[in-house]
Amino acid sequence: MQVLEKTSIRVLIVDDHELFMTGLSSVLQREPGLTVIGQATNKTEALSAAALRPDIILLDLDLGKENSLEFLPELLTIGDGARVIAVTGVPDPELHLRAVRLGAMGVVLKIESSAFLIKAIRKVYSGEVWLNNSLVSTVMTELLHANTSKKVDPEAEKIASLTEREHEVIALLAEGRRNKQIGEQLFISEKTVRHYLTSIFEKLGVTDRLALMIYAYKYGLAKLSAPAPHPTDSTRTSPK
């Protein structure tokens, strides 16, 4: 396992193909603002490196003799704040969905360009999720229909605490608007939008924009719209 000092976005690469990992590490190290702090080829090395508290973990879903999904939750616990991007050569939506269910905030296929992966790293680091629209739609639908017997009443007090302006921010966010667009629509600054989002997150008990979107759809704060038709498009969400 190779370890480097902290600089900007700290990245840990977990992949059982050393040639691929070495090449990817070289590409990332040349990118301004990114530093590869560790490389791991198996579960033991990955969990050990996660203790270094990387910002981003690039996790191959198939480590040969090991299935990384089996230790993904433990990896997140040890990483304590690290965000996982699943990097896989397997175009299996169900596999990708399992990774998201277990806490991955992004999925990137190995056939994508290095520039695509670097953009995903930066977006996920900033708090966004990096998933194609089809996968986001599946996750939302699954959560919308989960626990249907559960009463909404426990959330009523949280929702009642929202201000009219916070409702407006949620509605615009659910339409896919970015902070700048929300600010322009409501004639407020991006900084003010971030303050509203922080308040909304605290009131509703959610941690990021994707969770807020799902919450809004589930409890009627926004209407669920159809996903974009292009299969290669990606949906990104950010709390900042």
pLDDT digits (tens, 9 = 90+) for 169-209: 999 998 878 899 999 999 999 999 999 999 999 999 998 88
179 found inside a domain: yes
pLDDT of residue 235: 44
The CB density around residue 60, as the number of other CB atoms within 10 Å, is: 24
CATH number (domain holding residue 155):
3.40.50.2300
- Domain range for residue 202? 140-236
Q: Give yes or no: residues 110 and 184 share one domain.
A: no
Rounded CA separation 222/114 (Å): 35
Alpha-carbon distance of 45 to 47, in angstroms, equals 6
Note whether residue 118 is domain-resident.
Answer: yes
Provide the pLDDT confidence category of residue 20 given band limits of 50, 70 and 90: very high
Cα separation, 96 vs 217, in Å, equals 22
Q: Is residue 3 part of a domain?
A: no
pLDDT of 110 higher than 60? yes
**Whether residues 84 and 178 fall in one domain:** no
150 vs 111, higher pLDDT: 111
pLDDT at 230 over 60: no
Taking residues 42-66, report their average pLDDT: 94
pLDDT of residue 214: 84
Give domain status of residue 156, yes or no. yes
User: Mean per-residue pLDDT for 12-38?
Assistant: 94
| For the chain, percent of residues with pLDDT exceeding 90 | 52
Select from 125, 152, 180 the last residue of a domain.
125
Residues 178 and 98 in one domain: no
27: left (phi over 0), alpha (psi -120 to 50) or beta: alpha
pLDDT of 147 higher than 60: no
- C-alpha–C-alpha distance, residues 240 and 236, integer Å: 12
The percentage of the chain sitting over the pLDDT mark of 70, rounded to a whole number, equals 82
Instruction: Place 154 in a pLDDT band, splitting at 50, 70 and 90.
Output: low
Same domain? 83 vs 147: no
Residue pair 84/59 in contact (Cβ under 8 Å)? The answer is yes
